[in-house]
Structure 1
Amino acid sequence: MGRRYCIIGAGYTGLAVAKAYTDLGLDYDHIEATDAIGGNWSHGVYDSTYLISAKDVTGYPDYPMPADYPDFPSAAQMRDYLRSFAAEFGLDRRIEFGTLVTEVAPLDDTGLDGWRVGFADGTVREYAGVVVANGHYWDVNIPSYPGEFTGKQIHSKNYKRPADLDGPRVLVVGAGNSGCDLAVESAIAFGNSEISLRRSYWFVPKYVLGIPSSKFDIGSVPVPKLLQEAVFRSIILLGMGSYGSFGLAKPEHRIFDQDLVVNQQLPYFLKHGRVAVRPEIARFDGCTVHFVDGTSGEYDTIVWATGFKTTFPFLRDGLLDWEHGQPRLVSHTFAPGLANLYFAGLVAPRSGAGMLLMNSSRLLAEAALLQQRLRTPVGDLYTAVSKPSARILAGGPELRWEVLRGRALLSAMAQLFTLRTLVSRPASAVPADTEGPQADSPIMRNSVLRPILAVARRIA
């Protein structure tokens, strides 16, 4: 297999991984099931989509978004940016488009000997390791209710524009970021719309005092959670005031226990009577939808903005440990007990992910380099700074701090491994003009331990 790796997915995350692997000189095949760069930005968003995080914190740190982009770029601008990023660093030339992965299996019990990857055309390849970066916003989740709805139904992932809806009576189910956008867009197209909420959400305005709210969730040093909550509660208070004045119940959950909704348009349309709030659905009867409060309504279209399921159809059952629909991973990346299998982007940060993606991708590349020299899964050693968890929501500072700690741990392990190797070798076996095995590797470059290695060489 020649130390070649397989990166699955050429979206926002997969491109960051490819850049990190390229920077560290790791050989790889880049696999993309569709015919385009961009992942969900190319085939999973509606025409009117705009970023909810500012361009400064969404773009990759070593390739900023164009200065003439607005604070919140459109989906088309995001696609152009990702294609430009891939072209700038030659990543696009290595992508195999229209290639579907159907199987990823370890060659031994733990993956230390590598992984077998099968494809839809029947071919099979073997790799030193695999990076799963195919995203978690593709396998749609549609809840089931008693009865049958005979009008049109469409999931938000498959919606592109108002022409996809039968009007004028539209019910949007779910009030995440997509649900709020589509309730407003339906109201613009048909005069009004309704939105069904199972629970209330915390609504964060896009701007606070002229500053994009996503910029309040930055930094690499973790801030106490109570202080973070206080900051975001203040932001919401400035943007929303009283929930009751919008016809909404105040959320009962703590502010960071569920996804935050970054939206100012839905409250505006609620105040103008263009969007009406309904409770959870109880049952269907033809085009009639009955709600849990005993009310009902007639609708032509239901838009399911009810999220996605996290699934990996190419991994066999039992390979991962699941909890509440999410795999238990170490730092959202490593599967306990498995080597050379890495998960990228399987997290929902509160703010822009540009810096986080690049740093976490570098961590993956550094882990792959270190794993080449170990017979223990790197992820199991990584539990020194992070325990396995199935939690997918996380704050920006915590994630960035966790990645920085992890990279420091990997660097320290690499240095100790080299130190041990040098001390155990005869002095005659260590050339005087070298700094030991793998010394020219980027993970070893500019090391603060070089003086220690020099002393160790003399001792050996």
Structure 2
Amino acid sequence: MAEATPNTACIVGAGPGGLALARTFKLLGIDFDCFERHSDVGGIWDADNPGSPMYDSAHFISSKTQSHYLGFPMPESYPDYPSGRQILSYMRSFARAFGLYEAITFNTAVHSARFEEGGWTVTLSDGNIRRYRWLICANGTNWHPNLPEFEGTFNGEVRHAVTYHSPDEFKGKRVLVIGAGNSGCDIACDAAQSAAAAFISLRRGYHFIPKHLFGKPADVFAHEGPHMPMWLTQIVFGWVLRLLNGDLTRLGLPAPDHKVFASHPIVNSQLLHYLSHGDIKAKGDVARLDEDEVVFKDGSREEVDLVLCATGYRWDIPYVEEAEFSWKGGRPDLFMNLFSRENPQLFALGFMETNGGAYKLFDNMADLIARAILADRDEGGEAERFAGLARTSRPDLSGGVQYVGSDRHATYVNIDAYQKAMKGLRKSMNWPAIEEGHYEAMRAREAA
């Protein structure tokens, strides 16, 4: 280890993952600097953060009791599914409660990070150059819009959903929303209420999970309900959804071509309502654009003024040379979706998707990263053993689900399987489990 490299970590980003890392490092005594290019914490949840995909009607698709930081529940006054503004307020309260603001350098981006002489040379947007032993990439995945190209010419407007903020943008227009992910469905519901005419284009059919099941948030119902083998869960839950939603093809939607939970869940109760009332019309995949119309692959046409593409985002870590990560299908190949397989001083947090609440998971992931850093800092046999695991181990994180074959699902994990794998990793490395009381004591110390 070069003499000029201090035992300090560099965290890139003060969004949900970066804040979990900052709190955990502070708790465990790991020296770190956290850099945030914006003027405050919040990441994508801050609509004023340039490039944020946040829109006025955005809400959590996880309920407040299933997705919050450990030891810091969301306010009782919050609804089951908090709004984007409430999530931002919650995150800033979290940062204040644990004294994280003073550990974050704002209005400062990481321009580049190069691994050389046993450490990271980090160049900041203000021109400063600093040395770090460890680099943790927590910059998020929803910043680089994936905008498809269409055949033909179009007299209207085509743009990505990252540019969308308010239903007022739809007034007086005939709007086509392409993509039926959770954001696409939210935006399509806005169009159903505000546009002169509204359409949603889907390439495949999906299972729509209501936000409430039998009077409880869907994830609370799943958490409290009987825990069955995944094959049986898919059968039973598929039957429940058919009982509640009926045959979705009656609304013009294509029939799902996969089992329940084989793709990221669409948690939305409104879109089916608007489809059944004729406020929006379901269409198939787009074939081409033709002057004032959009032509679909079934040969049908619709006159459209605005095509809004809710077509996802490219994952990118622009400040690190691509060779530092092994990329597959646009996703970094990481052990446990956290650890570089080649470099024990390189980590990423937030580069995965799962079917459960993220924030508690971020706390556990941040703790695992911290344990690996502590092992590397002490330079003993534990670090060598973990490096061997990171290079070769590929635990099955599917939970028995055969996911849809898409780039999006290349790093998709079943939350139960992931939590089981985390416990297994802690046991094999003899790392302690998280104790929520430590966070509560930390908060009390900050308050004093």
TM-score by length of 1: 0.84
Gaps of 5+ in 1: 413-443, 447-460
| Alignment match, 1:84 | 93
| Alignment match, 1:42 | 46
In 1, distance between residues paired with 2:424 and 2:388? Answer: 15
Question: Shift of residue 227 of structure 1?
Answer: 3.0
Question: Shift of residue 384 of structure 1?
Answer: 7.0
1:56-71 matched pairs, under 5 angstroms: 56-71=65-80
- Is 2:172–2:196's contact at 8 Å kept on the other side of the alignment? no
**Is 1:397 aligned to 2:401, yes or no?**
no
- The AA in structure 1 aligned to 2:293 is T
Q: SS of 1:372's equivalent? A: helix
**Is 1:355 aligned to 2:360, yes or no?**
yes
- Is 2:113–2:121's contact at 8 Å kept on the other side of the alignment? yes
| Alignment match, 1:418 | none
Question: 1:51 is matched with which residue: 47, 60, 68?
Answer: 60
- CA deviations on 1:328-367 (whole Å, 9 max, x unpaired) are 1110011211111111111111121222111111111111
Identity among equivalent pairs (%): 34
Question: 1:14 is matched with which residue: 8, 15, 18?
Answer: 18
Please, which moves more after superposition, 66-75 or 160-169?
Answer: 160-169
- Is 1:12–1:39's contact at 8 Å kept on the other side of the alignment? yes
- The AA in structure 2 aligned to 1:77 is Q
| Alignment match, 1:104 | 113
- Is 1:167–1:301's contact at 8 Å kept on the other side of the alignment? no
Question: Shift of residue 308 of structure 1?
Answer: 0.7
- CA deviations on 1:38-89 (whole Å, 9 max, x unpaired) are 1111132101111111100111121000111111111111000000000000
Q: SS of 1:130's equivalent? A: strand
Gaps of 5+ in 2: 48-52, 398-408, 435-448
Q: Quickly say closer, same or farther: Cα 1:79–1:445, change in 2 above 3 A.
A: closer
In 1, distance between residues paired with 2:145 and 2:111? Answer: 19
**Is 1:285 aligned to 2:290, yes or no?**
yes
Please, which moves more after superposition, 337-346 or 169-178?
Answer: 337-346
Question: Shift of residue 305 of structure 1?
Answer: 0.5
Runs of 4+ with deviation above 6 angstroms: none
- The AA in structure 1 aligned to 2:149 is S
| Alignment match, 1:341 | 346
- The AA in structure 1 aligned to 2:42 is G
1:195-214 matched pairs, under 5 angstroms: 195-214=200-219
Q: Quickly say closer, same or farther: Cα 1:247–1:92, change in 2 above 3 A.
A: same
- Is 1:204–1:239's contact at 8 Å kept on the other side of the alignment? no
- Is 2:152–2:290's contact at 8 Å kept on the other side of the alignment? yes
- Is 1:382–1:409's contact at 8 Å kept on the other side of the alignment? no
- Is 1:371–1:377's contact at 8 Å kept on the other side of the alignment? no
Q: SS of 1:47's equivalent? A: coil
Aligned residues: 410
Q: Quickly say closer, same or farther: Cα 1:379–1:138, change in 2 above 3 A.
A: farther
| Alignment match, 1:310 | 315
RMSD over aligned Cα, in angstroms? 2.3
In 2, distance between residues paired with 1:204 and 1:120? Answer: 43
| Alignment match, 1:74 | 83
- Is 2:252–2:283's contact at 8 Å kept on the other side of the alignment? no
Q: Which has the larger radius of gyration?
A: 1
- CA deviations on 1:414-449 (whole Å, 9 max, x unpaired) are xxxxxxxxxxxxxxxxxxxxxxxxxxxxxx799xxx
- CA deviations on 1:220-273 (whole Å, 9 max, x unpaired) are x99633133234324422432212222222111233332211001111111001
